Structure 1
Amino acid sequence: MNAKRWIAIGIVAALLVVSGITKITSTLLATDDEYEMSWVDSLMAEDTGLTEMVLEEGNLDKRIAVLHIDGAIQDTGSSDSLLGGSEGYSHSAFMDFLEDIREDDSIAGVLLNVNSPGGGVVESAQIRDKILQIKKEKTLPVYVSFGSMAASGGYYVSAPADKIYASPETLTGSIGVIMQGYDFSELMKKVGISDNTIKSGEFKDIMSSSRPMTAEEKAIMQSMIDDSYAQFVKVVAEGRHMTEAEVRKIADGRIYDGRQAKANGLIDAFGYQEDALNALEKEQDLKGAQVFEYDTSGGSLASIFSTSVSQIVGQKSEAHQALQLMNMMEAPRLMYLYGK
């Protein structure tokens, strides 16, 4: 381990100690009400493993859960790693939130905020299937609010909603499937690099970056794309109460702004999170309900540590988001994703 890494670890450790002392001090100085709320949250965390942040006080017997998908929809497999964890969307945590909603009888409505270019085909399908399961088992209303972008997989997971709100400037649509790879064979020839691949079958190295694809290989991959595309079309048709023929007319992969999306039947109304929430409360007889969201920070020392690291390395920078997308494209796979 080099000196720079040791210095970085030392800085993070110091921040952890300072943050821990600050949190302990604030707890000791808390008022009785604050201490009681902290104690209640602790009991909740022990019971469900999840903590909640109340956004609006109200009826505890019928509550509204607010969820967020912010960023690329991908399962990194280790979203909370010590030095490499990422802020934003965590697939495993989001699935835990959905399961908690399914099991919590006090939850009477869901508001999902989506700000995403999409992501993996499998992850998008998992979210959509779980939402459908919740709606079927509990007949819960699900409203969706789009942020600046809810494209491809971001739209896929939103399609089952009872109502979708978006800004006129929201970028949405991009209904389709993409799989990308790179052919560096000509560059390899120029710099004198050769490829030695030993494979068990003709198509084991399909989409290899060291040679051009054959026509047969392209046909194989296109058949997979077509199958996933047909599934996407079906999901939109069912969710938006359209025929598949109607969906295919607008599902050529293009992006739409909010105005075009409304004209094409992809959203229901213009508005933001507060508008979607107000409509959910009014239209689903949930006036006076408690509104809460799941606390992804948790407040633990580990989360303080993760937050400090994120602040140091600038997880929310454009460069980091670009790296996330590059990692998604590292191995060719089916994607419901806008952009590259």
Structure 2
Amino acid sequence: MNQRRWVALAIAVGLLLFSGITQRVNNQAQEEQLTGINELLYGSNDLEKTVVEEGNSNQQILKLSVEGTIADSGSSSLFSSDTYDHQLFLEELEAAVSDPEIKGILLEVNSPGGGVYESAEIAKKMAAIKEAGIPVYVSMKQMAASGGYYISAAADKIFASEETVTGSIGVIMSGTNYAGLFEKLGIEDTTVKSGALKDIGSSTREPTEADKEVLQAYVDSAFGRFVKVVAKGRQMPEETVRKLADGRIYDGAQAKENGLVDEIGFPEDALAALKTEQDLSQAQVVSYQVSSTGFASSWLGVKLAEAQGLKLSESSRLVNLVESLGTPESPKPLYYYGGE
């Protein structure tokens, strides 16, 4: 190759690099511009404090809530609704740990439980809060069963009303088997697999004894972790917890008799106790909310956000929720009251 061709090649490579850099800069500028427009329309994803009850702003009690099934349905915190938003709740817990003004937390729980993994994520964040020396009081409302109890067990104090459905300590992995129906219809399972247990939990063939043993061992392992969480949080021997943890539910009065809750009361009673017992009588009560505009909650704002992929449609949220809890074809272990 002569010198002229080398020069031409160098120029071509230089133009290609310049074009790539220019395109990247333009794309970044467009993304920043779009982000700015979206923040103007909808607000930001930043957590902001809202004062619930006036008091000393240097000494705050944070009100948090778990309302609904504990599952990561993929909803966006910018468009969070009254249903449970897992990622938003984790963000709130992280923010509380690093906020020097937060001196106590009141967690209101109204949940039948949910995913094993999601419950463990919350428990890890709650442990970090306790390590930071922030007292946590839990008020169980209509229901705090299975995973709802799992995330509450480590609290400094647990309140429940006499009517609160609690307990259901255990693990469930639900599935549906169509093998008998397929046989009647003349449908044959032709699955090809690398090992006898590769299609364990299949809905198209009868489960073998080996299948049952493996799945039971898997569930028992998750159950053992649940028992340890309750035993540590409630300062009970594991043997005592196992006697209570046959999956049954308790009302609040029964739960108190069995040492699963500390006091009978409602959220306002838990808040009053937190103030009195933790020397926070003058504390300001606050909650977190995501910064948003009125447009974000309007019909046009919601539809535009769905079109941009910033908000999941209700059908998409439902699909994500079902998948996060498992399907008959792919069952998952759950800390959940009532099956799937």
Quickly name the TM-score band, shorter chain normalised: 0.7 to 0.9
Structure 2 CA distance, aligned partners of 1:285 and 1:225?
A: 42
For the Cα contact (< 8 Å) 1:173–1:254, is it kept in 2?
yes
> 2:118 and 2:321 mapped to 1: Cα distance?
15
How do 1:134-283 and structure 2 match up within 5 A?
134-136=129-131, 138-283=132-277
CA distance in 2, matches of 1:238, 1:244: 9
Identical columns (%)? 49
Please name the residue that 1:109 is paired with. Answer: 104
CA distance in 2: counterparts of 1:151 and 1:221, whole angstroms = 23
Is 1:70 equivalent to 2:64 in the alignment? no
Contact map agreement 2:110 2:148 (CA 8 A) in 1: yes
* Structure 2 Cα separation of the partners of residues 190 and 81 of structure 1: 48
Q: Confirm or deny: 8 A CA contact 2:77 2:85 kept in the other structure.
A: no
2:71 & 2:320 partners in 1: Cα distance? 13
Q: Which runs of 5+ in 2 are unaligned?
A: 1-39, 304-312
CA shift, 1:59, in A, is: 1.1
Q: Does 1:128 align with 2:127?
A: no
Q: Could you say what secondary structure the match of 2:225 adopts?
A: helix
Contact 2:72 2:118 in 1 (8 A): yes
Query: 1:123 & 1:70 partners in 2: Cα distance?
Result: 14
How many aligned residue pairs are there? 287
**How far is 1:289 from its partner?**
1.0
Shift of 1:308: 6.1
| Other-structure match for 1:52 | 49
Task: Quote how far apart the aligned CAs of 1:324 are.
Answer: 4.9
State how far apart, in whole Å, the 1-side matches of 2:203 and 2:274 are. 49
Going from structure 1 to structure 2, the CA distance change for 1:257 and 1:201 (only over 3 Å counts) comes to same
**1:178 touches 1:335 (CA, 8 Å); kept in 2?**
yes
The residue that corresponds to 1:99 in the other structure is 94
Gap regions ≥5 residues in structure 1: 1-22, 25-41
Q: Does residue 80 of structure 2 align to residue 80 of structure 1?
A: no
For 1:271 and 1:82, how far apart are their aligned partners in 2?
A: 33
> Per-residue deviation at 1:121?
0.7
Higher radius of gyration, 1 or 2: 2
Given that 1:80 and 1:86 are in contact with CA atoms closer than 8 Å, whether structure 2 keeps it comes out as: no
What is aligned with 2:4? Answer: none
Write the letter of the residue equivalent to 2:76.
D
Match of 1:334 in 2: 333
